[in-house]
Amino acid sequence: MLCATFPTVPVVALTATASKRDLKAIKESLNLKNPVEVIGNPNRPNIFYKKLFRKGEDVDFFEEILKPIALGLKEKTVGYPITIFYLPSGWCGFSFKFFEMLLGDDQYHSLQSPGNAIASVPKIPENRLFAQYHAPQTTAMKELILKEHSSPTSTIRVVFATVALGMGVDIPSIRNIIYVGPPRTIREYFQETRRAGRDGKQS
């Protein structure tokens, strides 16, 4: 153990979402003796929560949530706020297909296309305004999504995800995070909602 070999070397342990039990385990595993703990308050004045209760049939519920987002994306294209939508895998595919059907050719946008004419926009994943992010997704597609979201001019504005998106990746301008089936622990809330509004704007 490095701390035992170099007992006089200062050690810093950093974590964003550790529970009290995790903190204890970290200190014990690193053999830290009476360390100074610096703990930040996770509350931020620009983060807001809202809850909705599911009503009626599942399909109707999803369409009711998805339709305004799809229409907003169609209208604002790359001006639409970056939105992460966490939902079960079966509904992830449904949501993607729903957006495809509702947006048609408008689902593609290229910042490089002259005049942004639809006919000139190549119908490739890089130009689609929305994407899926889940465990079976190809590594190349996951990397594309993370690269896009790390850019201030990201084309991908809405992501349907079944797994945590981009932990450890600097994505400062996520505006909306939507859960279907809320997280069951405070840690899960912090892991995702702390990614929103890091640019200081309301999220």
Q: Using an 8 Å Cβ cutoff, are 26 and 172 in contact? A: no
Asked whether the predicted pLDDT for residue 115 surpasses 70, the reply is no
Q: Regarding predicted confidence, which is higher, 7 or 148?
A: 148
Asked whether the predicted pLDDT for residue 165 surpasses 70, the reply is no
First and final CA of the chain: distance in angstroms? 43
Q: Stretch 75-96: mean pLDDT, rounded?
A: 88
pLDDT number for residue 167 = 55
pLDDT number for residue 195 = 64
Quick one: tokens of 37?
A: 């703990």
Q: Regarding predicted confidence, which is higher, 193 or 142?
A: 142
pLDDT number for residue 99 = 93
Q: Using an 8 Å Cβ cutoff, are 129 and 157 in contact? A: yes
Q: Which CA distances in Å does 192 have to 127, 156, 175, 183?
A: 25, 18, 12, 10
pLDDT number for residue 189 = 66
pLDDT number for residue 59 = 84
Angular region, 47: left φ>0, alpha ψ -120 to 50, beta rest: beta
Query: What proportions of the chain, in percent to the nearest 5, are helix, strand and coil?
Result: 40, 10, 50
> Residue 149: what residue type?
H
Lowest mean pLDDT among 57-66, 111-120, 193-202: 111-120
Asked whether the whole model's pTM tops 0.75, one would answer no
